[in-house]
Structure 1
Amino acid sequence: MTVDPLRLVLAAYLAMVVFMAVLWAVQLRLRNASIADVGWCAGLIGTVLWYVGQAAGEAERKLLVSILVSLYAGRLGFYILFDRVIGKSEDARYRRLRQQWGERAGLFMFGYFQLQAIAVAAFSLPFLVVIQNPRPPFGLIELVGVLIWLAAVAGEAAADWQLATFRSKPWNRDRVCRDGLWYFSRHPNYFFEWLHWWSYVVMALGAPGWPLTLIGPIGMGWALTKVTGIPPAEEQGVRSRGDDYRDYQRTTNAFFPWFPKRP
């Protein structure tokens, strides 16, 4: 029996509304809103795996999508959990939001968590399109998409590991990380996160509904470069590292990796 994709997405959204409301209540006790980011990763995995069980599609492609979403969102979720939640104080960007919102911080934070529910529903669409691709699985175009996925997820994991290693050394507390991929970009983790979403566009290219996969790179690119990614990270970098970070800004691309300019 064919299941209406719109009903699948709507049901996933409603489930995420409840899930994010629970996480909002949890953060009231933890006083750490970074749990919303962990919830986004967990919610994406749960939503896509539910699509795998409900939507029409080839079994081989469903297995592929299950592996891709579990590895991508699982790695990111565990990284955020251990880097920003367990035993950690709240991330600076969330602390600033609480200060800006003042007495209404609780209400506005609830709205923020509900925006995460919308984001899960929106960013689950590329996976649903790939699952329902009617073409035989593992054609050349799809394999190219998988190669892009491998390069992007490996790049993001490497960038996160390099930054975590740099920050783990006490003598680097007030210094800017220029190790590895951070030599070529001020935010290589964001670049590879954005690149990762292009892999689903390639995998679904020409399939019914494939333009919906553009929600991934367009939506994530906008969020990372204009809203929740680079702007607050740049502000925090200047605030905490001063002239060293300003020099980094003058010499190194913010997003696309490239060789730095001479100071």
Structure 2
Amino acid sequence: MSVWVQLVCVWCFAAAVQGLAWAGQQRSRNAGVVDVVWSLGVAAAAAFIAASGSGGIVPRVLVGVLGAVWGLRLGTHLWQRTSVEPEDGRYAQLRQTIGNTPWKWFMFFQFQALLIALFAMPFLAVAANPQNRFGIACFAAVGVWLISVAGEALADHQLRTFRANPQNAGKTCRTGLWRYSRHPNYFFEWLHWFTYVLLAWGAPLWWLACAGPIVMYIFLRWLSGIPWTEAQSLRTRGADYANYQRTTPMLFPWFPKDN
């Protein structure tokens, strides 16, 4: 199966599942499910592309396992939060802006389906890699994957623990990894995509794998990640979060400044 046929199959699947998610949020009025479906859709894309790829068995198995496990972990974490909490403040704010017009939300969910296909491109590069040995690049890729997944899971756990304490209501999390970055979860999510750059090393379509970290950084830094999250944090935590912005690095972890 050619890489372009694989990509079309992923897009069609993503459009279908995001369409179902849109129908569900029409009843629940909780658009947070779009992130859950995006994560699980990326996981499914990794497994499908690995199974239908034309490259060596080693890179295909690695991309299938690593991509699927990453997406499943993130999707499970997001579902545990979305299923018990009110609609995420970012989407609640968007709902105030565009209302409940069905076709606008349908287009929003379909845009997320397009992003599943976009972020499947690194998987295509790896699954077409003819090199079939577990070399230095594979060891490095697994190392990056382990660090990024463990770091993101730890950041998620630290934030979840902080928010679970009623005494922290209205406060900003500054414990653990959140002391060194305002968005450590986003940092490790971005780092994770270098896994596939390394796994695709030497492949004819190696350049496709670079789309992962490049596009993810653009979205996190300027589009839907950090700008939306920080705007919501300023609305809900005001001066406390503004002070956090002044003292703590935005994305790349580093030591905080003195107040």
Bin of the TM-score, shorter chain as denominator length: over 0.9
Distance, in Å, in 2 between the alignment partners of 1:94 and 1:110 is 14
The 5-angstrom pairing of residues 99-138 of structure 1 reads 99-102=96-99, 104=101, 106-138=102-134
Contact 1:44-1:120 at 8 Å conserved across structures? yes
Kindly state the Cα deviation for residue 205 of structure 1 after the two structures are TM-superposed. 2.0
CA deviations over 1:61-88 (Å, ceiling 9, x no partner): 32222220222001100000011x2122
Deviating 4+ runs (over 4 angstroms): none
Distance, in Å, in 2 between the alignment partners of 1:190 and 1:16 is 23
The letter for the 1-side match of 2:112 is Q
Counterpart selection for 2:11 from 10, 13, 25: 13
Kindly state the Cα deviation for residue 43 of structure 1 after the two structures are TM-superposed. 1.2
Distance, in Å, in 1 between the alignment partners of 2:141 and 2:51 is 23
Contact 2:55-2:131 at 8 Å conserved across structures? no
Counterpart selection for 2:32 from 26, 31, 34: 34
Q: What TM-score comes out, normalization by structure 1 length?
A: 0.95
Structure 1 residues 248 and 189: CA distance shift in structure 2, 3 A? same
Q: Which runs of 5+ in 1 are unaligned?
A: none
Counterpart selection for 1:164 from 160, 163, 169: 160
The 5-angstrom pairing of residues 1-263 of structure 1 reads 3-83=1-81, 85-102=82-99, 104=101, 106-263=102-259
Structure 1 residues 52 and 103: CA distance shift in structure 2, 3 A? closer
Distance, in Å, in 2 between the alignment partners of 1:136 and 1:22 is 38
CA deviations over 1:117-165 (Å, ceiling 9, x no partner): 1111111111121122111231101211211111111111110000000
Contact 2:46-2:68 at 8 Å conserved across structures? no
The letter for the 2-side match of 1:178 is R
Contact 2:50-2:60 at 8 Å conserved across structures? yes
Kindly state the Cα deviation for residue 103 of structure 1 after the two structures are TM-superposed. 5.4
Kindly state the Cα deviation for residue 227 of structure 1 after the two structures are TM-superposed. 1.2
Structure 1 residues 103 and 152: CA distance shift in structure 2, 3 A? closer
Contact 1:142-1:204 at 8 Å conserved across structures? no
Distance, in Å, in 2 between the alignment partners of 1:61 and 1:50 is 14
Contact 2:11-2:116 at 8 Å conserved across structures? yes
Q: What TM-score comes out, normalization by structure 2 length?
A: 0.96
CA deviations over 1:198-254 (Å, ceiling 9, x no partner): 121122122111111111111111111111111111111111112111111111011
The SS at the match of 1:228 is coil
Distance, in Å, in 2 between the alignment partners of 1:215 and 1:118 is 14
The SS at the match of 2:134 is coil
Distance, in Å, in 1 between the alignment partners of 2:71 and 2:100 is 33
Contact 1:40-1:120 at 8 Å conserved across structures? yes
The letter for the 2-side match of 1:212 is L
Aligned-pair identity (%): 42
Distance, in Å, in 2 between the alignment partners of 1:247 and 1:101 is 31
The letter for the 2-side match of 1:236 is Q
Contact 1:143-1:203 at 8 Å conserved across structures? no
Distance, in Å, in 2 between the alignment partners of 1:154 and 1:132 is 27
The letter for the 1-side match of 2:119 is F
